[in-house]
Structures are given as C-alpha cells and as structure tokens.
C-alpha cells in the first residue's frame, strides 16, 4: 500500500505473467467429483454421522452478535445438564470446548444434545456382540447408494452448461441457415 507523498511507483509488466494465470475450466467436473466423494465418505462411515455435533453460539462483536452460528464445542455446563462426561462425549461424536464460558443459549444447546442422544445408538465394543448386532445395524441403517449424475440431453446441457461465445454463435447461425433453407425450398415449390 502506498503511503505519504512519495514518488508514484512504476508498474513492471515485462514479467512473464502468462505463466501465473490459472484457468479453472474443470470447475463443474470438480464440483461433481467432490459431491461423489462426500457421498462415498458418508456411505463408508454409515451409520456414524459425517461431522461432529456442535453448539449454537452468537457471533462475536456488536456488529454480528445478533447472528447465530455453530461454535467450536459444547461447554462443561451444557454437558453436565445432560449427564455426559466430556471425555465420553468426544467418543460419541460430540465436540467439546473447555474454554467456552459464554452461556446465553444453554437451553437451546441442551435441547440439541438431548435430541442427538435420543437418536444415538451406541454399538458395543466386543467382537461377538458386534457380529450379533451386524444384522440389526443393517436393518436400522440401510446403506445409502451414491447418486450417479444422469446423462443430460442437448437442450438441458445448453441451459445448464457454460455457454461460450462460439456455442452461442453456432446456435444463431443454425437458425439463419434453417430460415435460408426454408426460403429456398419455398421459391423452388
């Protein structure tokens, strides 16, 4: 940043700047790839949730404190309200923050914890019990299938895809060609 009454600096545009330009033409495909990987990860970790449970907190500073967001973790007071030890909570997918002291929305977070615990099914550690519960776990949590993107027809692709200038010109020329062809056919007949 230029400060004070100094000489205006010269711009150096003789560098090989084309080397440093990166174009992301693969963005739509990368989006599909990331989505498929998320679905695969969800299927692999099922019936476990993908992310840890986090509390509702207010954003800091006067400017943003009316907004709510997900915090780092539940404090000890909220965990004590639902009779959970912090170490055990971390093993069942609940994030814990030992530093958080702000407690304006304890009731909302306790409700959040209770709802999570009501849906939670903890499987035992032993192998024999796991084998017995394997069938019941599959009944409770049917495996989700990864959704494969469907092949699009040309009209849909034109609407959804990034239309380049050339594609638009081709469509425009095609209309003119058809009109010209029809005009010639009308003159012959």
pLDDT the model gives residue 178: 87
Could you tell me if residue 166 is inside a domain?
Answer: yes
Instruction: Give the span between the Cα atoms of 101 and 183, in whole angstroms.
Output: 79
Could you tell me if residue 59 is inside a domain?
Answer: yes
Could you tell me if residue 13 is inside a domain?
Answer: no
The closest alpha carbon to 112, from 99, 90, 94, 97, belongs to: 94
Could you tell me if residue 26 is inside a domain?
Answer: no
For 108, other C-beta atoms within 10 Å of its C-beta total 14
Does the structure show a pLDDT above 70 at 6? Answer: yes
Name the residue range of residue 166's domain.
154-188
pTM, two decimals, is 0.52
With contact defined as beta carbons under 8 Å apart, do 65 and 24 qualify? no
- pLDDT level of residue 55 (50, 70, 90 thresholds): very high
Of the candidate ranges 36-40, 117-121, 185-189, the one whose mean pLDDT is the lowest: 185-189
pLDDT the model gives residue 183: 82
Write b or e for each residue in 18-47: b if 16 or more Cβ atoms lie within 10 A of its Cβ, otherwise e. eeeeeeeeeeeeeeeeeeeeeeeeeeeeee
Q: Which of 19-28, 79-88, 126-135, 154-163 is predicted most confidently?
A: 79-88
Same domain, 136 and 62: yes
pLDDT digits (tens, 9 = 90+) for 85-126: 999 999 999 999 999 887 788 999 999 999 999 988 887 666
Same domain, 135 and 61: yes
Same domain, 172 and 136: no
Same domain, 88 and 135: yes
The closest alpha carbon to 123, from 63, 46, 60, 64, belongs to: 46
Instruction: Give the span between the Cα atoms of 84 and 113, in whole angstroms.
Output: 10
Asked whether the bond before 106 is cis by omega within 30 degrees of 0, the reply is no
Structure tokens at 175: 């209309």
pLDDT the model gives residue 19: 84
């Amino acid at each position: 940043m230029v400060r004070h009454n100094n000489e205006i600096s010269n711009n150096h545009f003789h560098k090989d700047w084309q080397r440093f330009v990166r174009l992301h033409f693969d963005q739509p495909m990368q989006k599909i790839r990331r989505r498929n990987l998320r679905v695969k990860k969800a299927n692999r970790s099922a019936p476990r949730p993908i992310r840890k449970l986090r509390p509702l907190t207010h954003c800091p500073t006067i400017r943003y404190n009316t907004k709510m967001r997900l915090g780092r973790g539940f404090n000890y007071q909220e965990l004590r309200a639902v009779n959970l030890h912090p170490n055990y909570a971390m093993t069942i997918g609940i994030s814990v923050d030992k530093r958080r002291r702000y407690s304006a929305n304890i009731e909302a977070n306790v409700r959040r914890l209770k709802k999570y615990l009501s849906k939670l099914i903890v499987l035992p550690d032993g192998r024999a019990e796991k084998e017995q519960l394997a069938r019941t776990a599959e009944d409770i949590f049917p495996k989700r299938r990864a959704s494969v993107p469907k092949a699009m027809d040309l009209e849909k692709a034109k609407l959804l895809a990034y239309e380049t200038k050339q594609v638009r010109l081709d469509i425009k020329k095609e209309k003119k060609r058809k009109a010209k062809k029809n005009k010639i056919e009308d003159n012959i007949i």
